[in-house]
Structure 1
Amino acid sequence: MDRVDENGRGMTRPASFRVTDTGNRRALRDIRNVVGAPPYACPIGKRGFPDKDSLDDKKLTLVARRPATRKFVATLASKSQPYQQGTNGQHREVGSQSQYNPPVPLVSKSSCLDSCTTIDVDYNSSNDIALPMVEEMEEMDNSDLKEVAMEDLVIETLPSIDICDSNNPLAVVEYVEDIYSFYRQTEVTSCVSPDYMSQQFDINEKMRAILIDWLIEVHYKFELMEETLFLTVNIIDRFLARQTVARKKLQLAGVTAMLLACKYEEVSVPVVEDLILISDRAYTREEVLEMEKLIVNTLQFNMSVPTPYVFMRRFLKAAEADRKLELLSFFIIELCLVEYKMLKFRPSLLAAAAIYTAQCSLRGLKYWTKTSELHSNYSEDQLLECSRLMVDFHHKAGLGKLTGVHRKYTTLKYGCTAKSEPALFLLNTIL
């Protein structure tokens, strides 16, 4: 008949089994078994090691050959014990633990020497340094990583420049940053190759400059919106980059591009007859409409592209610009519209460089605030190359034959901005 050994839970032994050594046996109360505690995953024998009946020979051999692992297991066992035997036989609480852990029998040095001579470390010695639990080690590592991450992570937030427009529904403060983020992603679609004129057989960059200088005067005469001028120039460049045009049709392409821009931006659109009249009747109505169809088909009806104007408005707001700075900035960037070489710069860079150049011109020193840098995503060093070209255009604006922008900004309507001094000191700045 089988019987149950009290030191090996769930282990049955034959009836003929007899225990010869009973001198060192201890009662259950001596090893502090708690009634109702969950059963151990690995049964513990009377000497503090797993019973040989609970592990096969292969596992026992592996354990015997790894004293370091056994040491670490014993250390974890001693750390996880919530109670420790006092000198008076009573149980006292060790440390503060918020969660109950089942007690683990202590392993004494004498019992270890009786069972296995390969372990000569007293785990209960007061000279031993207690190793942390696995959970404690993980918590320490995680806390250290969090502290390092918080120290290394520097979040540079954008200063709010839209507080004054919080009650203005037209300012769309809730998603204005998303709009300009989209503009930055799509502005490359509005750019053209800076050497596209090499594909034209009958026109050159000088003819392009004459055309745009004339269109700036037409734009001023018709009192159109600023957005219309920038979109007109963009349509012309994108069209000429894809379609070859004869010299005698270049002006026709220009006035038709302005007609398309007016239809997209203006409330009151000039009629075709007005454009024919301003062209000295060089073209007929049918020719204008045919060119209009050719342009929209060439551009695949894509008129919604970010031009320098949309970035100018945002960057001027970030710079806290007054009327004088705004006019000077637009004067400088309109000078760039005439120049073919400025096509190599993105619209956002042109806008930021124009404002930076205007600020340097008005203040007499280099000036670019952190707010402007954060909202434009351009540092002062990134703007310097483009800004130096703008200073040169500003210095020569009233000279030569193409003075349409200069004449426009010498009027009282534009505050005689063209008479301001250029920031010539930027020309001596080392790139």
Structure 2
Amino acid sequence: MPQASETKFPQHGSFGKEPSITEKDDCIHIKRSPSSPQGAPKKRSAFEDLTNAKKGQDLVSKKKGGKAVGKKTQKSTAGQETSKNNENNLKSARPKVSQEQQDNAVVQNKPKEPRPLEEKSDDVDESTDIKERKLPVYDDVDEENLSDPFLNAVYANDIFSYMKEREEKFVLKGYMQKQPDLNIEMRAILVDWMVEVQENFELNHETLYLAVKLVDHYLAITVCMRETLQLLGSTAILIAAKFDERCPPCVDDFLYICDDAYQREELLSMEVNILRTLKFDINIPVAYRFLRRYAKCARANLETLTLARYICELTLQEYEFIWESASKLAASCLLLALKMKELGGWTPTLEHYTGYPVTDLHSLVRRLNLLLYSKPDEKLKAVRYKYAHKVFFEVAKIPPMDVLKLEEQLKLDT
């Protein structure tokens, strides 16, 4: 059996070809031309939000026919003349009121408009501390998208709150000591290979993150031998693609990228085994989904979001980050990216939507910055090579923050 340092996975297809540039929505991918003898799947761009609905279009047409909303049937001519005479008699009997008195009466009877929260009330003393007043502390980032039914802005906050609740069900602990034939280095090599597979098939980033989660949760329960580790990784990508992709790759594609080391029956058997082991509950919250949400709340540009993605994707290969919750990891990656780009710190809006005060993120931010400082392993080049390309703004070439400078910035947020 090969030793840990000799563990390699075949890199067939066109993993080594020069990537071409393509950009869709806020997801950017490096295209690589697959060369499967079976023809390989068509190139697919990443899943993008359906935002091409015509805004302002009336969803319900107004009824032109039907009941008339006109005035009531007019009274007879004699009745009208009688009512006019009565009005004239009433007017002559009333005392004359000046125009100034009428204006004052209108002002007094006018209903009071609601006072904005930031305005100072008459009964509040000027010496009152501003912290004691009710001030708007965060922006409603979903309000501007309420008119677009495809964005589901009404349910966005509830969706991510539900995902945070599900995180507690998928807490991972160290499992490598239970694997007699595996080690941390083998896992890192597997994840590096899975990143290349995601690029080759142009899968969603969410598919990659979910596949890594499936591998970790399976290994936390079941003992796996090193000769079936690549089979586990490729099958996990297949399951994640079925869960998240509109058009997932076929089974033959995964057999091809494994260099036909496994039979079709083995891959299908592993698929059933993974699903049964995880009790078919594979809707595992991943950091990438939280990261996109939090970047929107911060109104970060695409380059800043890409830098945060790069930091977050580096953690996939690191075993010591598996027990971090997805939402906290995403928040910490975004905070570090904001610091590296000198775009400020943690705002009340971010604290509201993430649920994390900035002090809860300091420890993880320091670890992420040290991860950027660490010398890259020669065997693990996929993530750094991917984000060093110009379609990803070459964010992998951005130097990490100085440790002392980072500490000063974190103290300012406290």
What band does the TM-score fall into relative to the shorter chain?
0.5 to 0.7
Equivalent-residue separation in structure 1 for 2:290 and 2:135 (angstroms): 24
Partner of 2:161: 181
CA contact (8 A) 1:397 1:403 kept: no
Greater alpha carbon shift after TM alignment, 352-361 vs 267-276: 267-276
For 1:288, which of 267, 272, 277 is the aligned residue?
Answer: 267
Aligned position for 1:190? 170
Measure the CA separation in 2 of the matches of 1:401 and 1:320.
36
Shift of 1:428: 6.2
In structure 2, what is the equivalent of residue 415 of structure 1?
A: 393
Q: Is the 8 A contact 1:236 1:257 kept in 2?
A: yes
1:343 to 322, 345, 352: 322
Supply the distance in 1 between the matched residues of 2:356 and 2:195 (Cα, whole angstroms).
28
SS of 2:299's partner is coil
Partner of 1:382: 360
CA distance in 1, matches of 2:368, 2:215: 22
User: Tell me, what secondary structure is at the counterpart of 1:344?
Assistant: coil
Partner of 1:104: none
- CA separation of 1:381 and 1:259: change in aligned 2, threshold 3 A: same
* Cα shift at 1:429: 2.5
Q: Deviations over 1:293-337 (max 9, x none)?
A: 100000111111211122112111111110101110100000011
Distance 1:333 1:189, change over 3 A: same
TM-score, normalised via structure 1 length: 0.61
The corresponding residue for 1:256 is 235
8 Å CA contact 2:195, 2:383 repeated in 1 = yes
Map 1:207-226 onto structure 2 (within 5 A). Answer: 207-226=186-205
1:228-277 Cα distance to aligned partner (Å, 9 max, x none): 01111111111111111011111100000000000001111111111111
| Gap change, CA 1:158 and 1:175, over 3 Å in 2 | farther
Separation in 2, partners of 1:208, 1:367: 34
**C-alpha displacement at 1:155, in angstroms?**
8.6
Partner of 1:162: 142
> What is the aligned counterpart of 1:369 among 334, 347, 359?
347
Whether contact under 8 Å (1:356, 1:367) holds in the other structure is yes
In structure 2, the partner of 1:31 is none
TM-score of the superposition, structure 2-length normalised? 0.64
**1:124-183 CA deviation, whole Å, 9 max, x = no partner?**
xxxxxxxxxxxxxxxxxxxxxxxxxxx989797642011221222122121211111111
- Which has the greater radius of gyration? 1
2:388 maps to amino acid: T
Kept in 2, the 8 Å contact 1:397–1:406? The answer is: no
Looking at structure 2, the residues matched to 235 and 155 of structure 1 have their Cα atoms a distance apart, in angstroms, of 44
Give, in angstroms, the shift of residue 421 of structure 1.
1.9
Deviation at 1:355, TM superposition (A): 0.3
Output the CA distance in 2 between the equivalents of 1:426 and 1:185. 35
User: The residue matched to 1:303 in structure 2 has which SS?
Assistant: coil
Deviation at 1:397, TM superposition (A): 6.1
Kept after mapping to 1: 8 A contact 2:388/2:396? yes
Specify the code of the residue in structure 2 equivalent to 1:256: T
> How many equivalent pairs are there?
279
- One-letter amino acid of the structure 2 residue matched with residue 404 of structure 1: A
Distance 1:427 1:250, change over 3 A: farther
Asked whether 1:300 is paired with 2:279, we answer yes
* Match of residue 78 from structure 1: none
Report how far residue 398 of structure 1 moved. Answer: 4.2
SS of equivalent to 2:322: helix
Q: 2:374 aligns with which of 385, 389, 396?
A: 396
Separation in 1, partners of 2:265, 2:400:
45
How big is the alpha-carbon RMSD for the aligned residues of Structure 1 and Structure 2?
2.1
Aligned residue identity for 1:240: L
Q: Is the 8 A contact 1:228 1:258 kept in 2?
A: yes
Conservation of the 8 A alpha-carbon contact between 1:388 and 1:426: no
3-state SS of paired residue (2:361): helix
Change over 3 Å in CA distance of 1:397–1:179 after alignment to 2: farther
1:179/1:428 Cα in 2 relative to 1: closer, same or farther (>3 Å)?
A: closer
Structure 1's 413 and 185: CA in aligned 2 closer, same or farther, altered over 3 A?
A: same
For the 8 Å contact 2:137–2:349, the answer to whether it is kept is no
Is the counterpart of residue 332 in structure 1 residue 288 in structure 2?
no
Query: Which residue does 1:29 correspond to in 2?
Result: none
Judge conservation of contact 2:308–2:334 (CA < 8 Å) in 1: yes
| Aligned-partner residue type, residue 188 of structure 1 | E
Moved more, 330-339 or 151-160: 151-160
Q: Name the amino acid aligned to 1:409.
A: Y
Written as runs of structure 1 = structure 2, the 5 A alignment for 1:75-224 is: 158-193=138-173, 195-224=174-203
Q: Residue 395 of structure 1: CA displacement?
A: 2.5
Structure with greater contact order relative to length (CA < 8 Å, sep ≥ 6)? 2
Distance 1:310 1:156 in 2: 27
Q: Which amino acid aligns with 1:405?
A: V
Aligned partner of residue 429 in structure 1, secondary structure: helix
* Partner in structure 2 of residue 278 of structure 1: 257
Q: In 2, distance between residues paired with 1:197 and 1:319?
A: 37
Q: Is the 8 A contact 1:190 1:307 kept in 2?
A: no
Contact 1:203/1:246, CA 8 A, preserved across alignment? yes
| Counterpart for residue 105 of structure 1 | none
- Is there any run of 5+ residues in structure 2 with no aligned partner, and where? 1-130
Q: CA deviation at 1:379?
A: 2.0
My pick for the range that moved more, 392-401 or 230-239, is 392-401
Amino acid at match of 2:211: T
